[in-house]
Amino acid sequence: MDWYPLWNSLRIASISCAIVFFLGILAAYYVARLPRAIKGILDVIFTLPMVLPPTVCGYFLLILLGPRRPLGIFLARFGLQFAMTWYGGIVASAMVAFPLMYRTARGAFESFDQNLAYSGQTLGLSNPYIFWRIRMPACRQGILAGTVLAFARALGEYGATSMLIGYIPGRTATISTTVYQLWRTNEEGEALQWVLVNLAISAVILLAVNMLEKRNRKAGAA
């Protein structure tokens, strides 16, 4: 059994999760502080990939990063080609996972007791210190839950990934695209093996989310 799809899926999901972790927190922090009208517009923009079909997201990425598109041609000058490459899967996975991280982080920030930040300011603490040492620890349960969900979404991504990077054994194959390819070629036994691998990983992720939610409820009750 070739384990490349598992390795490739894990590295794509891990890197894209790291990217959306910082981008999602940054966007959530600043959007939560904006006026309601602007916040509503940005919410629509940032969460649109969550409601669009993944293949539509992949289509937009092809329009933007395709090898014959202006941006794709420009990036190719620097040796970057996102179409039909494994790291193109990072872009596709990050695009569909970002809304989960953003929405969860924004909810955590909006539930934060702003009086704690005001107290820190009266003590002369800097804004970066307040953010990393006060706000983030207070919101850690929501942040961690968003991170786990973003990783799970990136790991199971198929539509946008298949549109942008396709299926090339040993190069761009992921668990999801491998299952489809094996099913398409009537190799149902091997497809079932990958389905079971995916189920096992998904079960672990769901258990992690449930544990985080349980800890969050206990912290809230305390």
Number of helical H runs and strand E runs in the chain: 12, 0
- pTM, two decimal places: 0.87
Residue 152: closest CA among 104, 189, 192, 193? 104
For the chain, 222 residues long, give each residue's pLDDT as a single digit of tens: 788 999 999 999 999 999 999 999 999 999 888 888 888 899 999 999 999 999 999 999 999 998 888 888 898 888 888 989 999 999 999 999 999 999 999 988 888 888 888 888 888 888 888 888 888 888 888 888 889 889 989 998 999 999 999 999 989 999 999 999 999 888 988 999 999 998 898 888 888 777 776 776 666 555
Question: Which helix or strand (DSSP H or E) is residue 14 part of?
Answer: helix 4-31
Question: At which residue do the structure tokens 């992690």 appear?
Answer: 208
- R_g of the chain, CA atoms, integer Å: 20
